[in-house]
């Protein structure tokens, strides 16, 4: 059985109802937590059959999910799913993923194949990033950085096989709670953006962090930091916090892990 957490900010009931209905049809979902970070409470969320937690302020992505994850740890469930509200999928895939996790106890985190609504792949399997990968390249012409982006996003893999990946997207994180007990929850110093990088690489130290292409979800993704100057500032500010924690130029773990991942892909 699994618990699920969804963080909301100025969402409407109609926006999240399809996902809630999907989760209710999933036979292995025990409890769904709606963590509402908006300043105004929305009573309509209480009618969705989920556990509604109103924070009254924007705590940030990881901090809000941690509220629900701590409850899952207290309940003693083996898995917790962190998921964005703009996700859709067939209810049966959660049971499929849980079975795969049950049969592979060395996996601490799993992300399925993620598509745009058009059916195109979202390239969300990534190496541990350098400052260039997360900050500098967004200010350069795409033609100058395309080859590096393709390498960073592991596109040569074809996204058609199970891979051990050191950076998986926070839009869908199927987490083993034993791994969280060992490495900790989301780092609450990060308001948003690098919290998934940080958690994935901490889990990757002790478990496989896996891309599982045989289950597919759709992510109605909007990169707000590319169009909103305020979100761009938040993005860069939190990236600075991330590199202050892990290292800017000198990050021995990053160099070692990325070298191993690229070597494995070359020989797979």
Helix (H) or strand (E) holding 217: strand 208-219
Domain ranges of the chain: 2-266
Which has the closest alpha carbon to 175: 83, 247, 244, 268?
83
Alpha carbons 108 and 59: distance in angstroms, whole number: 26
Tell me the pLDDT band of 232, cut-offs 50, 70 and 90: confident
CATH topology of domain 2-266: Spore Coat Polysaccharide Biosynthesis Protein SpsA; Chain A (3.90.550)
Say what the pLDDT of residue 227 is: 52
Say what the pLDDT of residue 169 is: 96
CB-side neighbour CA atoms (13 Å) of 169: 21
128 pLDDT higher than 80: yes
Which has the closest alpha carbon to 165: 248, 231, 258, 84?
258
The alpha helices in 40-176, defined as continuous H runs, are 61-75, 93-102, 131-134, 142-152
User: Using one digit for the tens of pLDDT, what is the confidence trace for 53-72?
Assistant: 999 999 999 999 999 999 99
Give Cα 182 to chain centroid, integer Å: 19
User: Using one digit for the tens of pLDDT, what is the confidence trace for 136-168?
Assistant: 666 677 777 889 999 999 999 999 999 999 999
Give Cα 57 to chain centroid, integer Å: 22
Alpha carbons 213 and 196: distance in angstroms, whole number: 19
* 228 Cβ contact list (under 8 Å, min separation 6): none
225 pLDDT higher than 50: no
């Amino acid at each position: 059985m699994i618990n699920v957490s969804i963080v909301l900010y100025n969402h409407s009931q109609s926006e999240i109802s399809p996902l809630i209905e999907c989760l209710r049809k999933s036979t292995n979902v025990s409890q769904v937590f709606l963590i509402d970070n908006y300043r105004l409470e929305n009573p309509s969320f209480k009618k969705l059959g989920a556990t509604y937690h109103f924070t009254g302020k924007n705590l940030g992505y990881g901090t809000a999910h941690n509220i629900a994850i701590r409850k899952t740890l207290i309940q003693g469930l083996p898995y917790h799913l962190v998921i964005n509200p703009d996700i859709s999928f067939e209810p049966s895939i959660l049971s499929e993923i849980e079975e795969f996790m049950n049969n592979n106890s060395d996996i601490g985190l799993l992300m399925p194949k993620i598509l745009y609504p058009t059916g195109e792949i979202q390239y969300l399997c990534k190496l541990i990033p350098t400052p260039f990968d997360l900050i500098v390249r967004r200010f350069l012409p795409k033609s100058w950085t395309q080859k590096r982006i393709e390498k960073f996003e592991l596109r040569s893999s074809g996204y058609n096989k199970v891979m051990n990946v050191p950076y998986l997207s926070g839009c869908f994180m199927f987490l083993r709670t034993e791994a969280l007990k060992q490495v900790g929850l989301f780092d609450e110093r990060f308001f948003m953006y690098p919290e998934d990088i940080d958690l994935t690489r901490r889990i990757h130290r002790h478990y496989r962090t896996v891309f599982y292409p045989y289950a597919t979800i759709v992510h109605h993704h909007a990169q707000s930091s590319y169009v909103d100057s305020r979100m761009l500032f938040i993005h860069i500010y939190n990236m600075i916090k991330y590199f202050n924690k892990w290292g800017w130029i000198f990050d021995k773990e990053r160099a070692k892990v990325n070298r191993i991942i690229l070597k494995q892909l070359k020989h797979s």
